[in-house]
Amino acid sequence: MVFQTNPSVARVLDPPTGETRAWLAQGPAKSALPVIDAAQAVPNYPPADALMAHLSRFVREPESAFYTPIFGVPDLRDALAADMSKTYPAPISADQVAISSGGNHAFCMAVLALAGPGDNIILPEPYYFNHQMWFDMQGIETRALICHEDDGGMVPDLAEAQALIDSRTRAIVLVSPNNPTGTIFSPQQLLAFYELARNNALALIIDETYRDFLPNGASPHALFDQADWGDVFVHLYSFSKVFSLTGYRVGAIVGGGALMEAVGKIADTMTICAPRVGQEAALFGLRELGHWRAAKRDDLLQRLDLLGEAFERTAPRFQLVSRGAFFAYLRHPFAGTSSIDVSRRLFDEESLLTWPGSFFGRNQEDYIRLAFANADAGEIGEMVERLGRAGGI
């Protein structure tokens, strides 16, 4: 007799990343060009030398191997609260900060604290697929809020969001800068969704993993200035991209007292604490790498400009719908062709690995995602030239 797995997990589709990784392992079928991997977004630079040197000393200390408090190392909570208070700017205290095992862990804890089986959460589409997968595992209905193309990128409509709300709705999720589209929501747009959530007694979860890459280090919004923000707003963050620490698994969740009480129970049950070495890396980054952090932001913004210039120069049939942070979202020109076929043929014929729009929702077959930040400045133009040659796919 074979045991049964949890049906709520069993019916969730496998992470789509495995499919394109298999393509990469096989290699392009028709192209001898060097592969440009613009699929899964990762910093294309290592952590700072000073950070690595610091960690090489730290791991020799006995404390590096032991548990930390559930909510994280106190010094890191203090440092992140101070950093955020400057970024937004608004007074944020360490007791409103919990350190997590990466951004995904922060998201999962926030959702588990807010909703359960039979509830629903509004999720703009295209969405980060791990978010939708977690809802399915928890028996939470995904209410897809379709984003529309406009001059600001791919944006959801407030009235359409209102129409999705019912007595079982528990939260609205936004990601800004967005994964997968790169769209940056304006402070006014975020405030409008905040007011929508507040007026309907919902939580507004905003994943701000990529906030360090906003132009000119601009403040993302003024939501922390709202007197009742702790009753409405849940902020998610990750150190993975800003300090190139994807493997160290360290992020954060920021919220009010009721949320923190629930998160404390969840965190202790799931992980006990975030990895100690990852927390030390994040703390060093916040304290010592301000200039390095700004330089990486400026470098990424330069690549963003180069991407726009390359599209103007090459004018491929692919339409640059939205861009920002690590991502560009492209409308492909092959009506009636599935996005996965377009991405597969781009790889086979041009050695350009992208992710199909279908990874990000049922209504995304006309799109592909380009994680342009994976490429260095010299490869940006080459990526767009390959798109230009792909007009005959």
DSSP, residue by residue, 198-220: HHTT-EEEEE-TTGGGSGGG---
What distance in Å separates the CA atoms of residue 142 and residue 123, rounded to the nearest whole number? 6
Cα distances (angstroms) measured from residue 213 to each of 47, 181, 205, 294, 357: 16, 14, 20, 9, 23
Give the pLDDT confidence score for residue 391 in this predicted structure.
Answer: 61
Low-confidence ranges of the chain (pLDDT < 70): 1, 217, 391-393
Give the pLDDT confidence score for residue 17 in this predicted structure.
Answer: 85
7-46+292-392 domain in CATH 3.90.1150.10?
yes
Is residue 182 within 8 A of residue 327, CB to CB? The reply is yes
What distance in Å separates the CA atoms of residue 231 and residue 257, rounded to the nearest whole number? 8
* pLDDT, tens digit (0-9, with 9 covering 90-100), for 227-264: 999 999 999 999 999 999 999 999 999 999 999 999 99
pTM listed for this prediction: 0.95
Q: Which residue has the tokens 């133009």?
A: 381
Q: CB within 8 A of 32, min separation 6: which ones? A: 351
* Among 38, 36, 17, residue whose Cα is nearest residue 28: 36
Burial 26-43 (b: 16+ CB within 10 A, else e): eebeebeeeebbbbebbb
φ, ψ of residue 223 to 5 degrees: the values are -65, -30
Fill in the amino acid letter for 71: F
DSSP line for 110-160: HHHHH--TT-EEEEEES--HHHHHHHHHHTPEEEEEE-EEETTEEE--HHH
Region of 186 on the Ramachandran plot (φ > 0 left; ψ -120 to 50 alpha; else beta): beta
Is residue 106 within 8 A of residue 270, CB to CB? The reply is no
Tell me whether strands 120-125 and 355-356 are parallel, antiparallel or unpaired: unpaired
Q: For residue 333, what are its two tokens?
A: 């020109």
* Among 153, 161, 150, residue whose Cα is nearest residue 124: 161
Please check whether the two domains, 7-46+292-392 and 65-288, share a CATH topology.
no
The total number of residues written for the chain in this structure: 393
Q: For residue 20, what are its two tokens?
A: 């394109």
Give the pLDDT confidence score for residue 1 in this predicted structure.
Answer: 66
Q: Domain ranges for the chain, please list them.
A: 7-46+292-392, 65-288
At the topology level, CATH places domain 65-288 in: Aspartate Aminotransferase; domain 2 (3.40.640)
Give the pLDDT confidence score for residue 151 in this predicted structure.
Answer: 86
Q: CB within 8 A of 205, min separation 6: which ones? A: 107, 110, 111, 114, 171, 172, 173, 174, 234, 236
Fill in the amino acid letter for 337: T
Tell me whether strands 352-353 and 355-356 are parallel, antiparallel or unpaired: unpaired
What distance in Å separates the CA atoms of residue 114 and residue 120, rounded to the nearest whole number? 10
DSSP line for 49-83: HHHHHHHHHHTTSGGGGS---TT--HHHHHHHHHH
Instruction: Give the three-state DSSP class for 11.
Output: coil
Neighbours of 288 (CB within 10 A): 14
DSSP line for 310-342: HHHHH--SSEEEEEETTEEEEE-S-TTS-HHHH
